[in-house]
Amino acid sequence: PALRADVVTIFPDYLAPLRLSLIGRAARTGILDLAVHDLRTWTHDRHRTVDDTPYGGGAGMVMKPEPWGEALDALVPAGADPRPRLVVPTPSGRPFTQAVAVELAAEPHLVFACGRYEGIDSRVAADAATRMRVDEVSIGDYVLNGGEVAVLVMLEAVVRLLPGVVGNPASLTEESHAAEHDGLLEGPVFTKPTSWRGLDVPPVLLSGDHGAIARWRREQALERTRRVRPELAPAPLEGRGLEGLT
């Protein structure tokens, strides 16, 4: 497989959508070797306890280190080479972006640790760092109940980059946030019919003039990026590429 991915969670069913659509097919065709593990497999008490009260007080519970330590020992043998990457979703992590998705898609083995409650005892990441590269990642500036949905988001962004997953590889470079498009947002798209409810497809798209179409798309992408996400837009005076013509 191009990528082995292990997901550890107390809610394996949450990851069921990974069996659907393009990611499901990638797993069935052997591009992706995906395994979802129940953290409670690595508990030993009758109640299969995974959480406890926080030291120092405060609201909520914290995930205990022991089951996590055993889980990671089982999934990543000591001395594994190359060292797998442990992705820990957390709102306090570095932002997940298309560039991070590209980075992760180049890895042979990813392990995802889904936190719940107030997160995982910090020593788990410290201990894992002795044999894995630990990457704490946030999918956005908001708080979810658990890491499962964040892992769905990240895996979907990563797996579609693996060769053979998306039918036409050009569609990966012709979209928002692609480095090939300077990280710009994609402009509007249209399909048949040419006129619908009094709204016409921009004539340039019907012109057959590929140069004019490329310029129009670039202008639309720049306009949209400046309007919606100005921090992603190139500085106006940089005058790079077609921007100088607009």
Q: Is 217 in the site for ligand SAM (CB under 6 A)?
A: no
Write phi, then psi, for 179 (nearest 5 degrees): -60, -35
Residue 118 or 209 with smaller CB distance to ligand SAM: 118
Site size for ligand SAM (CB under 6 A): 19
Q: Is 140 in the site for ligand SAM (CB under 6 A)?
A: yes
Residue 75 CB partners (closer than 8 Å, separation 6+)? 6, 8, 37, 111
Cβ-contact 229, 185 below 8 angstroms: yes
Q: How far apart are CA 97 and CA 139, in angstroms?
A: 8
Q: Is 37 in the site for ligand SAM (CB under 6 A)?
A: no
Closest residue to ligand SAM using C-beta atoms: 115
Q: Work out the angle at residue 179's Cα, subtended by the Cα atoms of residues 175 and 185, and round it to the nearest 5 degrees.
A: 40
Say if strands 51-52 and 62-63 run parallel, antiparallel, or are unpaired.
Answer: antiparallel
Q: Is 115 in the site for ligand SAM (CB under 6 A)?
A: yes
CB of 242 to ligand SAM, least distance (A): 36
Distance in Å from the first CA to the final CA of the chain: 45
Q: Is 100 in the site for ligand SAM (CB under 6 A)?
A: no
Q: Is 89 in the site for ligand SAM (CB under 6 A)?
A: yes
Quick one: which segment of 31-39, 48-56, 138-146, 184-192 binds ligand SAM (CB under 6 A)? Answer: 138-146
Residue type at position 21: S
Taking CB under 6 A as the criterion, the residue among 20, 79, 130, 142 binding ligand SAM is 142
User: Where on the chain is the footprint of ligand SAM (CB under 6 A)?
Assistant: 89-92, 114-116, 118-119, 138-140, 142-147, 150
